[in-house]
Chains A and B, each alone.
Chain A
Amino acid sequence: MQRMCKYFISIFFFFLFVDGYSQEQKKAIEETEKDSIVYKTPYGIRVGIDISKPILARFNGDYTGFEVVGDYRVSKNFYLAAELGYEKNTSKEDYTNSTSKGNYVRLGFNYNVYENWLDMNNEIFLGYRYGFSLFDQTLNSFTPNVNTTYFPADKISAPITASNLNSHWSEFMFGIKVETFKNLFLSTHISYKVLMSTKEPENFKTLFSPGFNRIFESSTGFGFNYTISYLISFKKK
């Protein structure tokens, strides 16, 4: 057994050296055959829509949403990006039922960390957004939490609407973009959001903010989108 181990270990060492050799050789070849062709990629404005939201709305009766996305290429790996949308969502909790609806905008940038092959134009990006939403929240009904069956509480169904609520947040995202046909891109991202401020309704709390999604106890949230967008190219660089 011990001998076998020894044998394997020496085999590994052997491969290690071979590997080292081959690496060096490759490098030498690369240097001699350096390519002088520069592949140009398009610059322009890209607009699209989030197709995940209408799909989500179809399966979840408590939700409707629509989002328009766009970005503008500033330099090789840097894009200014924005999203604009409308969302309506009903939060059904154990003791409360409330609906938030309103508009939002997210402004920021994406940085592409993916090195493309030839003239391909795909992205793996990291992004930051500042988000702002304006919305109403209606407390549709609630049951006071009296935790006793001796004197049970009644469900109170008189809706209470708080208008002109707003929230501001920061959003960090990670995503990919793939050019599937010429100038047509499919993209997806996931994001982590940190609430900076929100105007709370009186004697209640903002449970869902459009553009932010569910606000967790720690004032954080998560989001994702799946977009299809078209690039209107201005020039090639």
Chain B
Amino acid sequence: MKKNVLFILLITVLISACEKDDFCIKNPITPNLVLRFYDTNDRETLKDVERLSIWAENKDTITNYKSINIDSVAIPLNSLATKTIYHLKMNNSDGSIANNQTASFTITYTPQEEYVSRSCGFKILFNDVTFESDNTWITEFTPEILTTIDNQNAAHVQIFH
């Protein structure tokens, strides 16, 4: 009897004191938009964008992308809206404000929630995606539409400049 009670106590403690055993390790769950920058004259070759800064309309500059030289970026899309407008600033001469060139890149889409797992919860898929740009320093980009963005294993858009 005494042993029995002890046993139950032990089990209760074991069950109630259990720590979380599963963590979401499949990050990032909701895909970012991946842009890669290519040379407009030699379209097979990646080309750094000089002093690139990226910010969304009415928001601060993304901390990872603040005046850096880079040929590939992954940027989040707003899951609460059907449209995200990004501004991409570059400066390929001397870094003075007068020489900044800013292009806008607009992404429209339909967000959709998809269940992943207990620890990861729901991810957001972006369906029927269309891209638009005002082509200031961006000469061209491809593709202009995508049926869905459900992962970020590869670049979604190639941008030529």
Contact partner of A147 (CB less than 8 A), chosen from B1, B4, B30, is B30
What are 21 A-B contacts with C-beta separation under 8 Å? A52-B8, A56-B12, A59-B16, A95-B120, A96-B121, A143-B122, A144-B79, A144-B124, A146-B76, A147-B28, A147-B29, A151-B56, A178-B1, A178-B4, A180-B1, A205-B115, A205-B117, A205-B118, A217-B117, A217-B118, A224-B11
Asked whether, in the complex, the Cβ of B8 is within 8 Å of the Cβ of A188, the reply is yes
**In the bound complex, CA of A147 to CA of B123 (Å):** 9
Asked whether, in the complex, the Cβ of B62 is within 8 Å of the Cβ of A150, the reply is yes
**In the bound complex, CA of A60 to CA of B18 (Å):** 14
**In the bound complex, CA of A176 to CA of B11 (Å):** 14
Query: For residue A149, which residue of chain B has the nearest CB?
Result: B76
Asked whether, in the complex, the Cβ of A203 is within 8 Å of the Cβ of B113, the reply is yes
Asked whether, in the complex, the Cβ of A94 is within 8 Å of the Cβ of B24, the reply is yes
* Closest 4 pairs (CB-CB, A-B): A95-B121, A148-B76, A151-B78, A145-B121
**In the bound complex, CA of A78 to CA of B88 (Å):** 76
Q: With an 8 A cutoff between CB atoms, is B80 at the interface?
A: yes
Asked whether, in the complex, the Cβ of B8 is within 8 Å of the Cβ of A226, the reply is yes
A residues 110-158 with Cβ under 8 Å of B?
Answer: 142-148, 150-151, 153-154
**A61 CB to nearest B CB, Å:** 13
**A125 CB to nearest B CB, Å:** 14
Asked whether, in the complex, the Cβ of A145 is within 8 Å of the Cβ of B115, the reply is no
Asked whether, in the complex, the Cβ of B124 is within 8 Å of the Cβ of A146, the reply is yes
Q: With an 8 A cutoff between CB atoms, is A186 at the interface?
A: yes
B residues 112-132 with Cβ under 8 Å of A?
Answer: 113-124
**B140 CB to nearest A CB, Å:** 27
Query: How many of A's residues come within 8 Å of B, CB to CB?
Result: 33
Partner-B contacts on A (CB < 8 A) = 52, 56, 59-60, 91, 93-96, 142-148, 150-151, 153-154, 176, 178, 180, 186, 188, 190, 203-205, 207, 217, 224, 226
Residues of B within 8 A of A144 (CB): 30, 79, 113, 121-124
Asked whether, in the complex, the Cβ of A95 is within 8 Å of the Cβ of B4, the reply is no
**In the bound complex, CA of A56 to CA of B11 (Å):** 12
Asked whether, in the complex, the Cβ of B27 is within 8 Å of the Cβ of A93, the reply is no
Query: For residue A91, which residue of chain B has the nearest CB?
Result: B118
**A214 CB to nearest B CB, Å:** 9
Residues of A within 8 A of B12 (CB): 52, 56
Contacts known (A144-B30, A204-B115); A95 close to B8, Cβ less than 8 A: no
Query: For residue A150, which residue of chain B has the nearest CB?
Result: B76
**A216 CB to nearest B CB, Å:** 8
Digitize B78-103: 1 where CB-to-A-CB distance is under 8 Å, 0 elsewhere: 11100010000000000000000000
Contacts known (A144-B113, A145-B24); A186 close to B121, Cβ less than 8 A: no
Asked whether, in the complex, the Cβ of B120 is within 8 Å of the Cβ of A145, the reply is yes
Residues of A within 8 A of B119 (CB): 93-94
Residues of A within 8 A of B56 (CB): 150-151
**B61 CB to nearest A CB, Å:** 10
Query: For residue B62, which residue of chain A has the nearest CB?
Result: A150
Contacts known (A144-B30, A224-B11); A186 close to B117, Cβ less than 8 A: no
**In the bound complex, CA of A56 to CA of B13 (Å):** 11
Query: For residue A93, which residue of chain B has the nearest CB?
Result: B118
**In the bound complex, CA of A93 to CA of B84 (Å):** 30
Asked whether, in the complex, the Cβ of A145 is within 8 Å of the Cβ of B78, the reply is no
Query: For residue B113, which residue of chain A has the nearest CB?
Result: A144
**In the bound complex, CA of A207 to CA of B76 (Å):** 29
Residues of A within 8 A of B7 (CB): 188
